[in-house]
Every structure is written in C-alpha cells, then in structure tokens.
Amino acid sequence: MTYKDLLQNLADEATDNYKDYLQSKITAQENVDDELLPEKTQQYKDAAERLEKKFSAVLATVKNGVGLEQPVPVEDLNDFLT
C-alpha cells in the first residue's frame, strides 16, 4: 500500500465515521430516553479525533520527503490501520 492509498483509506474511514457521528447526534435528539446513545455518540467523536491524528501523522510523513507513491513499511501500516 502506498502513502497515497493509506491517506485515501484514512480519509474514507474518517468520512464514514463522521457521518455516523452526526447521525448519532440526530438519533440522540429523537430518543432522549435512550441512555446508551450519548455514549455511542462520544465513541464516534473519539474515533474521529483518533483518525484525524493518524491522517495528520501520515500527511506529515509525506511532507517530510516521503513520496505519495512510496510503499508504507508494514510496521507503520499496521499502526495506522488499527
């Protein structure tokens, strides 16, 4: 997988997660008696922050001279995809 592929993968995952986060906020307003929804909403928010940090770290690596088309080392790939 290249750095470009990794960035796209993280962007796609972040997009899906953010959509779920916003939907969870809507659902929480519709079902105010459901005590689990605020926790689920927070989990989406936490995941969004985690994905943003990963994306920023990969982007910083690319900006520091690693080309977008370079393969990502396996050990780094495992860190960014988990």
Q: Give the pLDDT of residue 32.
A: 87
Domain boundaries along the sequence of the chain: 3-81
Q: Give the pLDDT of residue 79.
A: 86
Q: What is the DSSP string of 11-79?
A: HHHHHHHHHHHHHHHHHHHH-TT-TTHHHHHHHHHHHHHHHHHHHHHHHHHHHTT--TTSBPPHHHHHH
Provide the β-strand partners of residue 71.
Answer: 2
Q: Give the pLDDT of residue 81.
A: 85
- Blockwise average pLDDT, block size 10, the chain, 82 residues: 96 96 94 90 95 96 94 90 79
Global pTM value: 0.85
